[in-house]
Homo-oligomer: A and B are copies of this chain.
């Protein structure tokens, strides 16, 4: 990142954080639909500082009773699939229908590079200007688990602000699709033609997460190919377990550039919501998602406490080496590590 921009961002961040606005006032303003205050709330949620964490938790506690019923949509796709164009077009059409649309991002690459898939302010300019839209770049620091928490809590903040359609965008890196699948009701895989090659390069199991596969760029000379790709996806989908109980995942085509097929995507999602609310799958998933999130956070905290422990950090490389060379058994290695770990608690 550019140094000037970095220091500008830092200053801006400090300013938000130093505002002596009380948590109660912030909560009220968020719930009244104030977009600038929603931004501040999310900045607070995303902060890694300990005192901000406490304040964010208080804020969320105030916001929780006020969250509105929403549809959470996850969107993923290989780079070049046209995710921004699709989200802009799709989001704009929903805003025009009167929905309030929030766009968040989970970008695991940003945890490494410091970049962000939604960092570019010029992206989705048309959507960003719509009074019913709220666009938020991905939290750009922290572990994937941390980004995960921040995104989930940002969803809550958006819902408390009255946003009834939440889109969570991700690029297909690491575990990000699985994580996003675990926080949305409907998961959409945006694809493009060139199926054979693309499918082979596609990450294992991603098709099995999707509630719909939308082949984008079905326009001009590419239209026929897109239709063929759609058929190929449908053939493979036939052999896979559906991602959602009572719903058959199918492939569709669209042209985000020309707005073709966008309405059909929305029809599909509304049908999905209707069906899953009727058969109970919607509520089931929401409840199991939140419980899974609880357990994921417990596990993360347990592992952090262990692997960040000073003695373990020093000792683990040697143990790993001995295990790889098979000079000690794995069970012995684990015993030795836990002896060090647990004795440090007892001697506190």
Binary interface profile of A, 129-164, with partner B (CB < 8 Å = 1, else 0)? 000000000000000000001001100100000000
Binary interface profile of A, 315-348, with partner B (CB < 8 Å = 1, else 0)? 0000110011011111111110110000001101
The reply to whether A153 and B331 form a contact with Cβ atoms under 8 Å apart is yes
Question: Which of chain B's residues has its CB closest to A152's CB?
Answer: B330
Given contacts A297-B330, A299-B303, are A291 and B324 in contact (CB under 8 A)? Answer: yes
Total interface residues in chain A, CB < 8 Å = 53
Copies of this chain, count = 2
Question: Which of chain B's residues has its CB closest to A60's CB?
Answer: B329
Q: Which of A68-76, A92-100, A198-206 contacts B (4 or more CB under 8 A)?
A: A198-206
The reply to whether A301 and B338 form a contact with Cβ atoms under 8 Å apart is yes
Tell me, in angstroms, the Cα distance from A36 to B205 when the chains sit together. Answer: 44
Contact of A334 among B60, B67, B241, B301 (CB under 8 A): B301
Contact of A241 among B200, B238, B287, B331 (CB under 8 A): B200
Contact of A236 with B by CB under 8 A: yes
Contact of A64 with B by CB under 8 A: yes
Expressed in whole angstroms, the minimum distance between the Cβ of A348 and any Cβ of chain B is 6
Given contacts A149-B331, A323-B291, are A298 and B204 in contact (CB under 8 A)? Answer: no
Q: Which of A60-113 contact B (CB under 8 A)?
A: 60-61, 64, 67
Given contacts A208-B205, A241-B200, are A327 and B64 in contact (CB under 8 A)? Answer: yes
Contact of A271 with B by CB under 8 A: no
- Which residue among A153, A199, A330, A335 has the maximum number of chain B CB atoms within 10 Å of its CB? A330
- 19 pairs, CB–CB < 8 Å, chain A vs chain B: A60-B329, A61-B328, A61-B332, A64-B326, A153-B329, A156-B329, A204-B240, A205-B208, A291-B323, A294-B323, A294-B333, A297-B331, A298-B306, A298-B337, A299-B303, A301-B334, A345-B346, A345-B348, A346-B348
| A interface list, Cβ under 8 A from B | 53, 57, 60-61, 64, 67, 149, 152-153, 156, 196, 199-200, 203-205, 208, 236, 238-241, 287, 290-291, 293-294, 297-299, 301-303, 306, 319-320, 323-324, 326-335, 337-338, 345-346, 348
Given contacts A200-B239, A290-B323, 13 further A-B contacts (CB under 8 A): A57-B332, A57-B335, A64-B327, A152-B330, A156-B329, A204-B240, A287-B324, A291-B323, A291-B324, A297-B331, A299-B299, A302-B306, A346-B348
